[in-house]
Amino acid sequence: MTKNLTKTIQNTIFQNNLLEKDSRIVLGVSGGPDSVCLLNILFNLQKKYSLELIIAHVNYGLRGKDSEQDERFVKTLAEKYGLEMAILKPKIKAKKNLENNLRDIRYIFFEKIRKNNNFDLIAVAHNLDDQVETFLMRLIRGSGLSGLAGMKYQNEKIIRPLLGTTRKEILEYLKKNKLNYRIDKTNAEDLFLRNKIRNKLIPYLKKEFNPNITETIFAETQSIGEDYDFIFSSAQKYNFSQFLSAKKILSFHPAIQKTILRQKIADLKSNLKNIEVSHIEEILKIIKSTKSKHQVVIFKELKITRKGDKVVIRKIK
């Protein structure tokens, strides 16, 4: 694949209908190998597709001089490719759930740039290895089918052209084309669960069980994604208003039951972040309960109450 990665990514774009001619794209660039690769490939395709590109970079300031050097490096890339660049320097206060908070900051910024410039899409550089790490993270934490399906090539305005490309292929492409990039030294440290999976678990699985484990797991995420899409579309047929009927929910297949509850929560919270299998099981427990008394469950800023057949899920502060 490495011999002509640009053509491979072009095929990925076509097969997944990621963009059209004259698309206007915000490109998230950290300066790392993945985003440098994606920038170079989209630039190579710019004339063919008449693309308009703008670079968006977030300097979290968490790595001192390294963060400043990353920003300067991305500025040189913007100059090299003749592209406009937008920079965000947020003030990071809360250290709790840091990885999730940084992701939220990043995507809110990208979307702001997209809207302000009347652009069509946001391109990010997640690759096959990222998908596998995400799968294992969610498996370890306890995730439903939707979580195990992982990232999609396109999710509304966000596209991931490199999702089917391995980190090894990206590094080979950069070497072949003599493209410089920045290295985040914290990736080698086991500060986050993702880093532990990348640096310890996956190498162990490759050595002891399957040298092609990343490709195997990636294929599984695609299969799980297709299965979940079918279950989700089936669950969409059942429309519940302000409250749920315990009797009606229990008349459905367990997969549909869980999907309905997850969708109800997603509608309230705008996402399913930090909602695990155990939380859904907790709701199902009171739905299945034969006790006649009023029952209440509270978790993750949600309050679930059941009185008789009526089940209500509300968001609380």
Do 178 and 308 lie in one domain? The reply is no
Looking at the structure, tell me whether residues 14 and 114 fall in a common domain.
yes
Task: Return d(Cα 267, Cα 249) in angstroms, integer.
Answer: 17
Domain that holds residue 269: 238-315
* Domain membership flag for residue 165: yes
Q: Which residues pair with 313 in a beta bridge?
A: 304
Q: What is the pLDDT of residue 46?
A: 95
Residue 1 pLDDT greater than 50, yes or no: no
Structural domains in the chain (count): 2
Residue 172 lies in a domain: yes
The confidence score (pLDDT) of residue 12 equals 96
Using CB atoms within 10 Å of the CB of residue 175, give its burial: 0 to 12 exposed, 13 to 18 middle, 19+ buried: exposed
pLDDT over 80 at 193, yes or no: yes
pLDDT at residue number 239: 66
196 and 253 in a single domain? The answer is no
CATH of the domain at 55: 3.40.50.620
Are 166 and 275 within one domain? Answer: no
Residues 169 and 251 in one domain: no
Do residues 120 and 263 share a domain? no
Pair (288, 168) in one structural domain = no
Per mean pLDDT, which range of 91-100, 144-153, 190-199, 289-298 is the poorest?
91-100
Mean pLDDT of the chain: 91
pLDDT score, position 63:
84
pTM for the full model? Answer: 0.86
Same domain flag for 253 and 193: no
- Grade residue 159 by pLDDT with cuts at 50, 70 and 90: very high
In a domain, 42, yes or no: yes
44 occurs within a structural domain:
yes
**284 and 152 in a common domain:** no
Looking at the structure, do residues 290 and 160 belong to the same domain, yes or no? no
Q: Is the distance from CB of 314 to CB of 301 less than 8 angstroms?
A: no
Q: Is the pLDDT of residue 3 over 60?
A: no
pLDDT at 204 over 80: yes
Q: For residues 253 and 233, give the distance between their C-alpha atoms in angstroms, rounded to a whole number.
A: 14
Overall size of the chain counted in residues = 317
CATH no. for residue 309? 3.30.465.60
Confidence (pLDDT) at 144: 82
Question: Got the DSSP string for 212-261?
Answer: THHHHHHHHHHHHHHHHHHHHHHHTTS---SSEEHHHHHTS-HHHHHHHH
Domain contains 67: yes
Distances in whole angstroms, Cα of residue 160 to Cα of each of 78, 124, 270: 20, 5, 21
Question: Which is more confidently placed, 1 or 7?
Answer: 7
Using CA atoms, how far apart are residues 88 and 287, in angstroms rounded to an integer? 46
Rounded CA gap, 173 and 258, in Å? 43
User: Of 208, 228, 258, which residue is a domain's last?
Assistant: 208
- The reply to whether 187 and 119 lie within a common domain is yes
Q: Do the domain assignments include residue 309?
A: yes
Residue-wise pLDDT for 254-284, tens only, equals 999 999 998 888 888 877 877 888 999 999 9
Burial class from Cβ neighbours inside 10 Å (0-12, 13-18, 19+) for residue 308 reads exposed
pLDDT in tens, 125-145: 999 999 999 999 999 988 888
Confidence bin at 147 (pLDDT 50/70/90): confident
CA distance 9 to 163: 9
Asked whether residue 183 is assigned to any structural domain, the reply reads yes
Q: Which range has the worst mean pLDDT, 23-32, 72-81, 181-190? A: 181-190
Question: Above 60 in pLDDT, residue 214?
Answer: yes
**pLDDT score, position 94:** 64
Considering only CA atoms, which of 162, 221, 216, 219 is closest in space to residue 16?
A: 162
